[in-house]
Amino acid sequence: MGVSYRWVIVAVGALMSCVAIGAMFSLAIFQEPIASATGWSHVGIASAMTLNFIVMGFGGFLWGAASDRFGPRIVVITGSVLLGLALVLASRAETLTQFQLTYGVLVGLAASAFFAPMIAATTAWFDENRGLAVSLVSAGMGVAPMTISPFARWLISAYEWRPAMLIIGVAVWVLLLPAALLIRRPPAAAAESDSEFAVDGARPQLSKVFRSPQFIVLGLTFFACCAAHSGPIFHMVSYATICGVAPMAAVSIYSVEGLAGLGGRLLYGSLADRIGVKPVLVAGLTVQAAALATYLFVSRLGEFYALAIVFGSAYGGVMPLYAVLAREYFGQRIIGTVLGAATMLSSLGMAFGPLIGGWIFDTYANYSWLFIGSAMVGLGAAAIALAFPPLTREKPQPAFGVTS
- Tell me the per-residue pLDDT of 289-315, one tens digit each, with 9 for 90 and over: 999 999 989 888 889 999 999 999 998
Q: How far apart are CA 265 and CA 60, in angstroms?
A: 21
Predicted confidence (pLDDT) at residue 395 exceeds the cutoff of 60: no
Task: Express as a percent the part of the chain with pLDDT over 70.
Answer: 90
pTM across the whole model: 0.73
- Tell me the per-residue pLDDT of 169-201, one tens digit each, with 9 for 90 and over: 999 999 999 999 999 877 654 444 455 665 555
Predicted confidence (pLDDT) at residue 338 exceeds the cutoff of 70: yes
Which whole number is the average pLDDT over 317-339? Answer: 83
SS (H, E, C) 300-338: CHHHHHHHHHHHHHHHHHHHHHHHHHHHHHHCCCCHHHH
Q: What is the pLDDT of residue 202?
A: 58
Half-sphere exposure of 74 (CA within 13 A, CB side): 7
For residue 50, which amino acid is it? T
Half-sphere exposure of 93 (CA within 13 A, CB side): 26
Q: How far apart are CA 85 and CA 29, in angstroms?
A: 20
Residues in the chain: 404
Q: How far apart are CA 354 and CA 46, in angstroms?
A: 5
Q: What is the pLDDT of residue 3?
A: 61
Task: Express as a percent the part of the chain with pLDDT over 90.
Answer: 30
DSSP category for residue 3: G
Each domain of the chain, given as residue ranges in start order, spans 3-184+204-385
For residue 358, which amino acid is it? G
Q: How far apart are CA 83 and CA 81, in angstroms?
A: 6
Class of domain 3-184+204-385: mainly alpha
Q: What is the pLDDT of residue 203?
A: 64
Taking alpha carbons only, the member of 340, 345, 346, 299 closest to residue 318 is 346
- Tell me the per-residue pLDDT of 247-266, one tens digit each, with 9 for 90 and over: 778 878 877 887 888 888 88
**Residue scoring higher pLDDT (171 or 6):** 171
Sorted by sequence, the CB contacts under 8 Å of residue 353 that are 6+ apart come out as 226, 227, 228, 229, 230, 231, 232, 233, 234, 235, 370, 374
CA 352, 355, 361: angle at the middle one, nearest 5? 130
189 CB-contact burial (10 Å; exposed 0-12 / middle 13-18 / buried 19+):
exposed
**Residue scoring higher pLDDT (121 or 207):** 121
Taking alpha carbons only, the member of 339, 346, 252 closest to residue 57 is 346
Predicted confidence (pLDDT) at residue 145 exceeds the cutoff of 60: yes
- Tell me the per-residue pLDDT of 348-392, one tens digit each, with 9 for 90 and over: 888 778 778 888 888 888 888 999 999 999 999 999 999 988 765
**Residue scoring higher pLDDT (296 or 144):** 296
Which whole number is the average pLDDT over 31-48? Answer: 85
Q: What is the pLDDT of residue 82?
A: 94
